[in-house]
């Protein structure tokens, strides 16, 4: 189904927008100017593709120059990127943490 006209009521949303609340096995995609699958949600496999309609993992970014930018708005804590590994009875295994505030990269 294509939406060809947005009503005035939909142009001013104050609440949540839920797509596929019934959990049907359907996909969702957003096109850009030149990429039919700029954002692709694989509803049956719980995966998201950016630039691809066949995401291999939970988040799959595909492009000629595939980059992900995470930017702080200037707060004191800066940017943190945490790659959270498996948890065992001894604690975390394989965690990698980058913390911009202290210019540190650590592995747990």
pLDDT single digits (tens) 11-47? 566 677 778 888 888 889 999 998 999 999 998 999 9
Contacts of 35 (CB under 8 A, 6+ apart): 51
Of 36, 42, 60, 58, whose CA–CA distance to 50 is shortest? Answer: 60
Query: Residue 47 is inside which H or E element, if any?
Result: strand 47-50
Neighbours of 87 (CB within 10 A): 11
- Residue pLDDT, tens place only, 42-98: 989 999 999 999 999 999 999 888 888 877 776 666 677 777 777 777 666 667 777
Neighbours of 26 (CB within 10 A): 12
The radius of gyration computed from the CA coordinates of the chain, to the nearest angstrom, equals 19
**Using an 8 Å Cβ cutoff, are 78 and 70 in contact?**
no
**Using an 8 Å Cβ cutoff, are 70 and 77 in contact?**
no
pTM of the model: 0.65
- pLDDT score at 107: 59
Of 4, 45, 53, whose CA–CA distance to 29 is shortest? Answer: 53
């Amino acid at each position: 189904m294509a939406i060809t006209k947005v009503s005035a009521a939909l142009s001013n949303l104050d609440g949540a927008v839920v797509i596929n609340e019934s959990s049907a096995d359907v996909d969702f995609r957003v096109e850009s100017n030149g990429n039919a699958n700029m954002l692709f949600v694989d509803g049956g496999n719980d995966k998201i593709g950016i630039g691809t309609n066949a995401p291999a993992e939970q988040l799959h970014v595909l492009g000629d120059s595939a980059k992900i930018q995470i930017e702080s708005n200037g707060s004191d804590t800066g940017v943190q990127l945490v790659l959270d590994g498996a948890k065992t009875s001894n604690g975390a295994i394989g965690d990698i943490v980058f913390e911009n505030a202290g210019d540190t990269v650590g592995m747990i």
